[in-house]
């Protein structure tokens, strides 16, 4: 029987309202590349964070080379030979390569950092890995792939036996990806194991030996790359039945275009390109895709928060320009951002003030705010949206996520919008409140508004949308309607460009 390098058994981890990991297992052989796949929210990252000591699982065992180990924090993980290259790299931009690699364990001569020794070790390490990066370059001057190389060098400097890579190619070009693969093969040849998380399925067939599939926090199965096809993998990732979690679709879509988006191209060359679509009155247009598909960037650009290089907006036959959020709001747009805390609520202010942020101008008479008239509309909106709170003067930070989200929806209703852009409207919202937000969305389209909803949750995307527009790597890969809009099709479109690129080289 072959000895495993890493064995995870029966791992469980819950967050309030969600079972993120439900008795998950994972077995990784030495000297192999083990891919971990699943939809957004399947629990991949949670599992890796448990392995790396960032989260503490409630149940489950971890064995390394057959020996049970306890990992309480990242220091433990590193000592056990586990290291992780995060999707979002966190270099110290104003320190050089050496400092970034050896931070926390600088070689010393007495109390003084031994710069010469550090330089010698860094040069040797980078030379070994065939990286051509001078060790005194500042981290801020490095490209993403070079930073990744530094992270890999760091893992090796810890003599990691198991290296976790979370979506390492998400911001790499084709050539950079090739170099990374070469490096991974070298690590493999040295007997190290790599756990490779990726959404780009074609890529896995090139680099992985085995693939573990996860879905809804559960372990689905582990397969050798030569015994499974892409279609089978997609089916395993999405294989789930839709349940009654959504209010019925009343199909109130009118045959009238409210918004036409043409050739939208971001000013950022790495973001979206040439996206065109139409939005009809009374429609909920879902926007699906994987992390990194540039959906948030697209909707924020439509709302005027990010610059575009090219593109045209036409609203009910008239060309419009949303150069900034103020213009967008004046044109009847509203945006509920993905990051409710960072860009949505003003935590210290009351529910009332938060609800009125975008609407104060409407209550001004001769330059003076008519405070007496402020209360009633907010009260009405809060009642209509069933916001649960002690009073309207309660600071919004004391409300639950779902109720905060309802107040933000209310903010836009008070501002009088008719095109609502919702970016992950139910992220961090508990199950009960989710249904209410869905109900509000249905109510809004019934009243003749239109909604663009970016969602990474497949059931939500399919259960709420009249049409689903799928993006992949900044491009529109297809718009699905009616029966066509099913999980397999969405997944296929969401990975379509990745597949083509990998085949093309």
Partner 1 sequence: MNRTLKRPGSTDIKKLLMDEALILVLILMIGVIIAIEPAFFQWRVIKDILTQSAVKLICALGLMFPLLLGGTDLAGGRQVGLAAVIVASLSQTIDYVNRFYPNLPELPIIVPIIITLAVVAIIGLCNGLMIAKLKMAPFIATYGMSTIVYGINCLYFAQEPNRSQPIGGIREDLTFLSSTQLLGVSLLVWIALAFALVVWFVLNRTTFGKHIYIVGGNKEAAKVAGVNVSLIIIACFIIESCLVGMGGILEVARTGGANSGYGLSYEFDAISACVVGGVSLSGGVGKVSGAIIGVIIFTIISYGLTFIGLNPNWQLIIKGLIIIAAVALDMRKNATA
Residues within the interface to partner 1 (CB under 8 A): 303, 305, 324-326, 328-330, 335, 337, 342-349, 353, 356-358, 360-361, 364, 367-369, 371, 379, 382-383, 386-391, 397, 411, 415
Which of residues 104 and 367 has its CB atom nearest to partner 1 in the complex?
367
CB count, 10 Å around CB of 253? 17
Q: Which is nearer to partner 1, 189 or 368 (CB)?
A: 368
250 phi/psi in degrees, rounded to 5: -90, 0
CA 311 from centre of chain: 25
Q: How far is the CB of 416 from partner 1 (least distance, A)?
A: 12
Report the C-alpha gap between 61 and 225 in whole angstroms: 26
DSSP letters, 24-48, are EEEEE-TT-EEEEE-STTSSHHHHH
User: 294 with 471: CB under 8 angstroms?
Assistant: yes
281 versus 411: smaller Cβ distance to partner 1: 411
Cα torsion angle, 200, 202, 203, 209, sign: positive
| Smaller CB separation from partner 1, 178 or 386 | 386
- CB of 308 vs partner 1, minimal distance in Å: 17
Specify the residue, 334 or 493, whose C-beta has the smaller distance to partner 1: 334
Q: For partner 1, which is the closer residue by CB, 335 or 461? A: 335
Residue 341 has, within 13 A of its CA and on its CB side, a CA count of 8
Nearest approach, Cβ of 316 to partner 1 (angstroms)?
21
In terms of Cβ atoms closer than 10 Å to its own Cβ (0-12, 13-18, 19+), residue 317 is exposed
Q: What DSSP state is assigned to residue 54?
A: S
Do residues 468 and 461 make contact, with C-beta atoms less than 8 angstroms apart?
Answer: yes
162 forms beta bridges with 82, 193
What minimum distance in Å lies between the beta carbon of 379 and partner 1?
Answer: 8
Question: How near is the Cβ of 111 to partner 1 at its closest, in Å?
Answer: 32
Write down the H helix ranges in 60-143: 74-79, 97-102, 115-128
Give yes or no for a contact between 472 and 497, defined as CB atoms under 8 angstroms apart. yes
Contact present, 434 and 426 (Cβ < 8 Å): yes
Report the nearest approach of partner 1 to the CB of residue 339 (Å). 8
**Minimum distance from residue 267 beta carbon to partner 1 (Å):** 17
Tokens at 242, concatenated? 């839709």
End-to-end Cα, the chain, rounded Å:
37
* Residue 196 vs 303, nearer CB to partner 1: 303
Least distance CB 325 / partner 1 (angstroms): 5
Bridge partners (DSSP) of residue 7 are 27, 63
Residue nearer to partner 1 on the CB measure, 263 or 326: 326
């Amino acid at each position: 029987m072959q000895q495993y390098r890493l064995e995870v058994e029966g791992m469980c981890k819950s967050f309030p309202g969600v079972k993120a990991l439900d008795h998950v297992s994972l077995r990784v052989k030495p000297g192999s590349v083990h891919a971990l796949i699943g939809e957004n929210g399947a629990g991949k990252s949670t599992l890796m964070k448990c392995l790396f000591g960032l989260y503490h699982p409630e149940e489950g065992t971890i064995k390394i080379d057959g020996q049970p180990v306890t990992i309480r924090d990242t220091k433990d993980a590193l000592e056990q030979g586990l290291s992780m290259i995060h999707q979002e790299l966190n270099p110290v931009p104003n320190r050089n390569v050496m400092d970034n690699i050896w931070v926390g364990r600088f070689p010393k001569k007495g109390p003084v950092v031994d710069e010469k020794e550090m330089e010698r070790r860094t040069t040797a390490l980078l030379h070994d890995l065939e990286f051509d990066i001078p060790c005194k370059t500042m981290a801020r001057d490095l490209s993403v792939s070079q930073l990744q190389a530094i992270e890999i060098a760091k893992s090796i400097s810890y003599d990691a036996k198991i290296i976790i890579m979370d979506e390492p190619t998400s911001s790499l070009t084709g050539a950079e990806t090739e170099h990374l693969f070469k490096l991974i093969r070298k690590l493999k040849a040295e007997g190290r194991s790599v756990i490779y998380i990726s959404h780009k399925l074609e890529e896995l067939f090139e680099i992985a030996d085995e693939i573990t599939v996860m879905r809804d926090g559960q372990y689905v199965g582990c397969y050798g790359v030569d015994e499974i096809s892409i279609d089978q993998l997609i089916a395993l990732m999405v294989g789930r039945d839709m349940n009654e979690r959504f209010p019925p679709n009343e199909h109130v879509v009118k045959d009238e275009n409210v918004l036409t988006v043409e050739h939208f191209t971001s000013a950022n060359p790495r973001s979206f390109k040439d996206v065109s679509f139409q939005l009809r009155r009374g429609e909920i247009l879902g926007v699906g895709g994987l992390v990194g598909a540039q959906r948030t960037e697209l909707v924020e650009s439509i709302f005027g928060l990010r610059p575009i290089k090219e593109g045209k907006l036409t609203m009910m036959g008239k060309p419009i320009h949303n150069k900034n959020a103020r213009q967008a709001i004046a044109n009847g747009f509203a945006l509920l951002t993905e990051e409710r805390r960072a860009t949505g609520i003003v935590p210290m202010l009351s529910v009332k003030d938060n609800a009125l942020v975008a609407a104060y101008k409407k209550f001004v008479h001769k330059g003076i705010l008519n405070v007496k008239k402020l209360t009633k509309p907010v009260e009405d909106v809060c009642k209509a949206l069933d916001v649960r709170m002690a009073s309207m003067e309660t600071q919004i930070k004391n409300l639950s996520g779902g109720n905060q989200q309802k107040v933000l929806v209310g903010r836009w209703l008070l501002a009088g919008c008719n095109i609502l852009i919702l970016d992950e409207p139910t992220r961090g919202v508990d199950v009960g409140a989710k249904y209410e937000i869905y109900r509000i969305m249905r109510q809004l389209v019934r009243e003749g508004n239109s909604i663009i909803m970016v969602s990474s949750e497949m059931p939500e995307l399919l259960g709420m949308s009249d049409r689903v527009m799928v993006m992949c790597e900044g491009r529109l890969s297809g718009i699905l309607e009616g029966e066509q809009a099913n999980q397999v099709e969405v997944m296929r479109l969401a990975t379509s460009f990745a597949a083509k690129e990998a085949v093309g080289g």
